Amino acid sequence: MIRILLVEDEQNIANLIKMNLEMDNYEVVWSADGREAVELFKKERFDLIILDIMLPSISGIEVCEQVRLHDTAIPILMLSARGEPKDRIKGLKTGADDYLSKPFILEELLLRIEKLLQRSIEEVKGELEYYEFGNNHIDFNLYQAKGPKGEFKLTKKEVLLLRLLIERKNKVVSRKEILQAVWGYDVIPSTRTIDNFILMLRKNFEIDPANPVFFKSVRGVGYKFMEES
């Protein structure tokens, strides 16, 4: 089920959007407050955010900034009564992926949401089947790998984690993104679980697991797969 966080303080507009998205089989969580929306975002898993700019407590721009600190990938569609180019530019600069001015045509909103979701699904899917780094090999289809100590089997979660880190090579992947990509909706493990997975990857792929070259920790944020190109 695709989950959308709808941040909009005007109840009529929120109801209209929510109702129509639900008719299209999306699950919608509605928040009328910027600060609350950030809290919801941190606690739950969403696939897309619809974000009004003028909100009580903190503005949509600030919400967008906060979200982007934790997650650079989630699609954000900004909504605003202010259709001025400078607001649009500010929104896009803060990390929104798309922008729609009120009043908008509902059909256009739905189309844009569909497009954004499609784009993010394609980005996650990836084409990676086989990968080599250092003296390591990974076969993503056969769930097999070879490291300094020889060949070994990979679990599905290890494959998902490796794929995510490698596809985002040399970029930080946050713990939250790892949780979403590898564990999805059902179970929310502790961050310790992720750490253990990383330790295991180091044990299998690093020549000196205590001084990793490929699977780096980024303190307070997450992990990074490093490889010189």
Q: How far is the CB of 175 from Ca ion (least distance, A)?
A: 32
CA dihedral sign of residues 64, 68, 72, 74 = negative
> The sheet that has 3-7: what strands, in order across it?
27-31, 3-7, 48-52, 76-80, 98-101
Would you say 96 or 165 has its CB closer to Ca ion? 96
Q: Is 33 in the site for Ca ion (CB under 5 A)?
A: no
Q: Are strands 48-52 and 98-101 parallel, antiparallel or unpaired?
A: unpaired
Q: Is 98 in the site for Ca ion (CB under 5 A)?
A: no
Would you say 67 or 160 has its CB closer to Ca ion? 67
> 2, 3, 9, 136: which one contacts Ca ion (CB under 5 A)?
9
Q: Is 158 in the site for Ca ion (CB under 5 A)?
A: no
SS3 state of residue 60: helix
Q: Is 92 in the site for Ca ion (CB under 5 A)?
A: no
Helices (H), 44-189: 60-70, 85-94, 106-125, 156-167, 175-178
For residues 48 to 87, the per-residue mask of contacts with Ca ion, x marking binding by CB under 5 A and - elsewhere, is ----x-x---------------------------------
Residue 45: φ, ψ to 5°: -105, 130
Can you give the binding site for Ca ion, defined by CB under 5 A?
Answer: 9, 52, 54
